[in-house]
Amino acid sequence: DVKVTQSSRYLVKRTGEKVFLECVQDMDHENMFWYRQDPGLGLRLIYFSYDVKMKEKGDIPEGYSVSREKKERFSLILESASTNQTSMYLCASSETAHTEAFFGQGTRLTVV
């Protein structure tokens, strides 16, 4: 059974903290994505990676960075967490842009 695993389901952090969200996939997929999901705004792309150590900005990259040192792992970093980054974060992977994207269960991050 294919799987995308996010390290935490729920996370509470303080304003100004550096936050790491980890995602691991076991399907040997080239592409990995980070989205945030907010009511009424759908899934907004933060960053994606199409190869190890390769990354591209999505639609809302401000305040975030990413790291992909190994093919199976894609990390999202909040450099200095702010309350407006309170959201559900979803990681996904896919073989190509034309194949199914598999999602993790999400990390609900609250910044206080």
**C-beta closer to other proteins: residue 35 or 64:** 35
**C-beta closer to other proteins: residue 85 or 94:** 94
Q: What's 103's DSSP letter? A: E
**C-beta closer to other proteins: residue 3 or 18:** 3
| Alpha carbon distance 48, 60 (integer Å) | 11
- We find the least distance from the C-beta atom of residue 103 to other proteins, in angstroms, to be 3
Q: Which of 92, 20, 90 is nearest to 50 (CA)?
A: 92
Site residues, other proteins (CB under 8 A): 4, 30-31, 33, 35, 40-45, 48, 50, 56, 58-59, 90, 92, 94, 96-98, 100-106
- We find the least distance from the C-beta atom of residue 87 to other proteins, in angstroms, to be 14
CB 4 within 8 A of CB 102: yes
- We find the least distance from the C-beta atom of residue 16 to other proteins, in angstroms, to be 29
Q: Please spell the DSSP secondary structure of 54-102, one letter per residue.
A: EEEE-S--TTEEEEEEETTEEEEEESS--GGG-EEEEEEEESSTTSPPE
- We find the least distance from the C-beta atom of residue 14 to other proteins, in angstroms, to be 26
**C-beta closer to other proteins: residue 82 or 96:** 96
